[in-house]
Structure 1
Amino acid sequence: MRIAIVGATGNIGSALLEELHGREEVSSLLGIARRLPQQDAVPYTYAEWSSADIQFPESVETLTELFDGADAVVHLAWLIQPNSKRELLRRVNVQGTKHVLEAAAAAGVSRVAVASSVGAYSPVSDDAPRDESWGTEGIPGSHYSEDKAAQERVMDEFEALHPDTALVRIRPGLIFQSGAGSEIQRYFAGSLAPVQLLNIVRPPMLPMPRNIRSQAVHSRDVAAAFAEALIQGARGAFNIAADDLLTAETIARVITGRETGRASLPIPLGPLKPLVKAANRAHLLPMDEGWLQMAEQVPVLDTTRARTELGWQPTVSAKDALAELVAGMSSGAGRGSAPMRPRGESPHSGYPLPDADHSLPEGIDVMLLRQYMSDHLAGATAGVQRIWAMASAFEDTPTYPQLSQVAQAIASEHQWLSDLIQRQGFPRPGMTAPLFWVGEKVARLKPYARPPLKRSPSALVLETELMIAAITAKRQGWEVLSDYAEELGVPHHVFHDLIAAADEQREMLDEVHSYARSRAFRTDRETLTPQL
């Protein structure tokens, strides 16, 4: 089987690549994502890769071409953040699912599997297990649940139009693995949460909302369910969850590490919701109050159908999967993709560095070279901040894949240059880097925004021009350092590769600039937010 996986870089996708790679029924894998992963890193090396942004109607044609010759398609792509961009979430999650299904039908794919969720189900007020026949109207107040329910309606319509296609819906509980630790921290706890302290000390007790309970499952077990469903050509919905239930006390025991005595300090859920809402609106907490609403009202999943029809069994308990996730969060674990990147790390470029004891030879003005490299690093620090800000600001436009790819490349090069400077025995930049950082922030305080709080179409044009200029300056820096490659202990080809990478980055930004300038000053076409 040739299988195409849309959204293959995330929590489920990484596990599914490993699962399918080991299946003799699978001949090849195609990974599809907005932001491509480190393709030389496991498990992403198991697949061929292509980029597509499923939120736009134009993606149907692209996806149809990519699906050509595929025996099965798996749709995993889902955008959880940012909560404030509700239209973007709906466009990616709901319309994106519609576009993937339309492309699969156009390409003649016979088997399709879609990641649904326990969040799609209608609310309950008890712990009685529900099978797949329970209603999927979602839980009001949770944008995730509401979009999952809307996704179910898209699949209903597809099944009615294409009865010959075997469409399977996998509805798992919470999905945990160690490698998702940093990703889940960013999505829910935020960078301010001191989860790394759990490696040193555990709290004696943990405040926990009353009446919350949830089911969890290890990502490997979810991947196994997807694999069985695809290989068997299954149809319909399947609940996937471990046997044990995660109560407030169980969760507290895992986080505190306590085996005996009470680990949770019960607190009422009602007053907690406005506090979470306020923290979210103040940008102190990524998670919004809708997740508490869902935790209180999702049903307990009956997994009988998956066990009997797919022969599926969980191999990891919910408690053990949670313990693995907590360990991953405390250590900052991740994998080689943008959504799963480790905490505090930029994607590494993979370029070689000199030996740790390398020293510059005589005949080099060490002070001048150190200052030159430090100034370029300071400029790169500001550039990294600026390009990530651009990618975030224009996430809902067709330019996002190029912007995010350039941002990842610049971040990895910044990390490599920083490491190279340290290998030469140079200290990190002193006042220069903070001054560049402050200057970059001040430069952003320009009247780009039109009231009321609307981005100006000209902002994308000007910001891209500034970044192109910065990359041009960076390229010249690589040219200079290439003349001193031997003295720096770096193979000559490294700087040639960096120069070529800078050219590729300029080409991608030229594409962004072409898109923006053709629309920015016209009144007859949309520049930033496309029409549905």
Structure 2
Amino acid sequence: MRIAVVGATGNAGTAVLRELAARDEVESILGIARRLPNREMEPYRQADWQQIDIQFERARADLEKALNGYDAVIHLAWLIQPNKERDLLRRANVDGTRHVLEAAAAAGVRHIVVASSVGAYSPVDDDELRDESWPTEGIESSHYSVDKAAQERVIDEFEAAHPEVTVARLRPALKFQGGAGSEIQRYFLGKWAPVQLLQLGRPPVIPFPKDVRAQAVHTDDVARAYVLAALKGAEGAFNICADDVLDAARIGGVVTGNSKYGRVVPVPSKALRPLIKAAHRTGVLAADEGWLDMALRVPLMDNSRAKRELDWWPSMSGAAALEELIQGMAEGSGKRSAPMRPRDPQSTAPFTLPDAEHQLPEDIDALALRQYMSDHLAGATAGLNRIQKLAEAFMETPKYGDIATVAEEIRVEHHYLEELIQAQGFPRPGVTAPALWVGERLARIKSFFPQGVKITPSVLVLETELMMSAVTGKLHGWRSLMPISEALGVPQGVFEELADDALRQYKILQDVHDYARQDAFNKSAETDPEDALPSSE
């Protein structure tokens, strides 16, 4: 059986690839994503890949071509962030689902599995278990829930128009796995949450909303459900969750690790909501108050249909899955894809570092080498900040996937250079590197405006040009280290690969530059909305 996975690089997608690769009945796997992963590493090496951004109408033709000859499609793609970009989220999540469904039907695919969510369900005020017949009108104060309900309507319309295609919609509970620790921290807690302190010990007590109760499921169990639905040609809706219910006491027990039920200071939800809202608005917390509303109002699910018709059973309790996630968050765990990237890039970096006992030969001028590498690290730090901002600026364009992929590669290379410098016995760069970094930040004030100020197409042209110059400098840096690679304790092929990567990145940026400068200075130009660069206040 030939199966394509749309959104194959995130929490669920990575697990689905693992599950598909383990199935003898699966002949081939196609991964589709707008940001490609490192395809030389597991589990991404098990699939063929296509880079397609499904939010655009034009994606339908690319999707139809890519899906031709496949027996089933598992559609998992969903943007969680950025919360404030509602048009982007709606376009990627709701319109994107429509584009995938219509393209799959046009390609002759006869079975589709779609990732819906418990968040699609209408609100309740009790703890009764609901089956799949419960209405899916969403919770209006949660953008995630509203869009999941809208996705359900898209599926309804598609099924009515295409009775020849069977569609299964799976509604999982919260999906937890250790390998998604870094991703879930970024999407929901944010970068300011000191989750790494959990490696030193658990808090003796936690504050928690007393009314929250939820269900969870290990991501591997969800992946198995998606694959079973695809292989069996299942049709209709299926609730996917572990059998236990996580209330405040049970969650407190897992987080504190003190006892089965832990110690929790109950916090009234009404008092907590404005605090979450304020923390989100100030950037301290990634999740907005809608997630609390959803946690308070979604129904508890009855998973008996999945057990009966898919022969699916959870292998792990929701509490055990939560414990694994907490440990993964503490460690900053992840995989080599943009959504799943770990907190420490070196944990999955493909480049070789010197052995622990490595020492520089005496004929190497250590002082000159230290200065050279430190200056390049300063430039790499500036370039990393620039490429990340550039990717954000292009988020609503067809070029986002390309430039975001380059940004992730540069992030990993930056960390590698840091580790390489320390492996030579050099201390972390001192005054020079921060000074150069500050100077670069000051130089770009005019280019990247503070929040609320207009970003124009001409600015993006200039920023792309500056990034191209930075990549050129990086290229020459790797080439300069090639002749002394043995002295550095690194196989020469590592620097050759890094230089080749820089050349490829430059070509991508050239293409982005060509796109950015189209009519950038023409006031009267009429541009297709899908081609337009963002120019919002």
Q: What range describes the TM-score normalised by the shorter chain of this pair? A: over 0.9
Counterpart in 2 of 1:459? 459
Distance 1:201 1:448, change over 3 A: closer
Counterpart in 1 of 2:415? 415
Counterpart in 2 of 1:141? 141
Q: Alpha-carbon deviation of 1:40?
A: 2.4
Q: Alpha-carbon deviation of 1:346?
A: 5.8
Q: Alpha-carbon deviation of 1:221?
A: 1.2
Counterpart in 1 of 2:268? 268
Question: Which deviates the most, 370-379 or 337-346?
Answer: 337-346
The answer (yes or no) to whether the contact 2:64–2:106 under 8 Å persists in 1 is: yes
Counterpart in 1 of 2:316? 316
Distance 2:498 2:198 in 1: 39
Distance 1:450 1:476, change over 3 A: closer
Cα deviation code 1:396-440 (max 9, x no counterpart): 211211211111221222222222222222222111221122123
Question: Which deviates the most, 73-82 or 424-433?
Answer: 424-433
Tell me whether 1:509 sits opposite 2:509 in the alignment.
yes
Counterpart in 2 of 1:524? 526
Cα deviation code 1:122-164 (max 9, x no counterpart): 1111111111111111101100000000111111111111111
Cα deviation code 1:248-299 (max 9, x no counterpart): 1111111011326762111110121111111101011001000000001001
Q: Alpha-carbon deviation of 1:178?
A: 0.9
Distance 2:26 2:446 in 1: 53
* Residue aligned with 2:225, SS: helix
Q: How many residues align?
A: 531
Question: Which deviates the most, 326-335 or 344-353?
Answer: 344-353
The 5-angstrom pairing of residues 44-63 of structure 1 reads: 44-63=44-63
Question: Which deviates the most, 428-437 or 75-84?
Answer: 428-437
The 5-angstrom pairing of residues 417-432 of structure 1 reads: 417-432=417-432
Distance 2:257 2:363 in 1: 58
Q: Alpha-carbon deviation of 1:521?
A: 2.1
The 5-angstrom pairing of residues 224-303 of structure 1 reads: 224-259=224-259, 263-303=263-303
The answer (yes or no) to whether the contact 2:346–2:416 under 8 Å persists in 1 is: no
The 5-angstrom pairing of residues 126-275 of structure 1 reads: 126-259=126-259, 263-275=263-275
Aligned-pair Cα RMSD in Å = 1.9
* Residue aligned with 1:339, SS: coil
Counterpart in 2 of 1:378? 378
* Residue aligned with 1:31, SS: strand
The answer (yes or no) to whether the contact 2:29–2:47 under 8 Å persists in 1 is: yes
The answer (yes or no) to whether the contact 2:249–2:261 under 8 Å persists in 1 is: no
Question: Which deviates the most, 199-208 or 232-241?
Answer: 199-208
Tell me whether 1:358 sits opposite 2:369 in the alignment.
no
The answer (yes or no) to whether the contact 1:348–1:416 under 8 Å persists in 2 is: no
Distance 1:421 1:57, change over 3 A: same
Distance 1:113 1:140 in 2: 26
Task: Structure 1: state its 5+ residue gaps.
Answer: none
* Residue aligned with 2:384, SS: helix
Q: Which amino acid aligns with 1:494?
A: V
Counterpart in 2 of 1:88? 88
Q: Which amino acid aligns with 2:61?
A: E
Q: Alpha-carbon deviation of 1:449?
A: 5.3
Q: Alpha-carbon deviation of 1:446?
A: 0.8
Distance 2:141 2:348 in 1: 39
Scaled by the length of structure 2, the TM-score of the pair is 0.95
Q: Alpha-carbon deviation of 1:394?
A: 2.1
Q: Alpha-carbon deviation of 1:51?
A: 1.1
Q: Alpha-carbon deviation of 1:348?
A: 5.0
Distance 1:308 1:260, change over 3 A: closer
Q: Which amino acid aligns with 1:20?
A: L
The answer (yes or no) to whether the contact 1:357–1:423 under 8 Å persists in 2 is: no
Counterpart in 2 of 1:489? 489
Distance 1:285 1:451, change over 3 A: closer
Q: Alpha-carbon deviation of 1:488?
A: 2.6
Q: Which amino acid aligns with 1:426?
A: F
The 5-angstrom pairing of residues 55-134 of structure 1 reads: 55-134=55-134
The answer (yes or no) to whether the contact 1:346–1:411 under 8 Å persists in 2 is: no
Distance 1:130 1:181 in 2: 29
Distance 1:302 1:69 in 2: 36
Cα deviation code 1:88-114 (max 9, x no counterpart): 111111111111111101111011000
Q: Alpha-carbon deviation of 1:450?
A: 11
Q: Which amino acid aligns with 1:286?
A: A
Counterpart in 1 of 2:10? 10
Distance 2:197 2:486 in 1: 42
* Residue aligned with 1:148, SS: helix
Counterpart in 1 of 2:475? 475
* Residue aligned with 1:484, SS: helix
Q: Alpha-carbon deviation of 1:184?
A: 0.9
* Residue aligned with 2:266, SS: strand
Distance 2:264 2:363 in 1: 66
Distance 1:197 1:452, change over 3 A: closer
The answer (yes or no) to whether the contact 2:250–2:261 under 8 Å persists in 1 is: no
Tell me whether 1:43 sits opposite 2:43 in the alignment.
yes
* Residue aligned with 2:345, SS: coil
* Residue aligned with 2:505, SS: helix
Distance 1:364 1:424 in 2: 11
Identity %: 57
The answer (yes or no) to whether the contact 2:34–2:51 under 8 Å persists in 1 is: yes
Question: Which deviates the most, 492-501 or 340-349?
Answer: 340-349
Question: Which deviates the most, 369-378 or 463-472?
Answer: 369-378
The answer (yes or no) to whether the contact 1:346–1:412 under 8 Å persists in 2 is: yes
Q: Alpha-carbon deviation of 1:391?
A: 1.0
* Residue aligned with 2:29, SS: strand
The answer (yes or no) to whether the contact 2:338–2:405 under 8 Å persists in 1 is: no
Counterpart in 1 of 2:403? 403
Q: Alpha-carbon deviation of 1:218?
A: 0.8
Distance 1:315 1:530, change over 3 A: farther
* Residue aligned with 2:503, SS: helix
Q: Alpha-carbon deviation of 1:349?
A: 4.5
Distance 1:237 1:150 in 2: 15
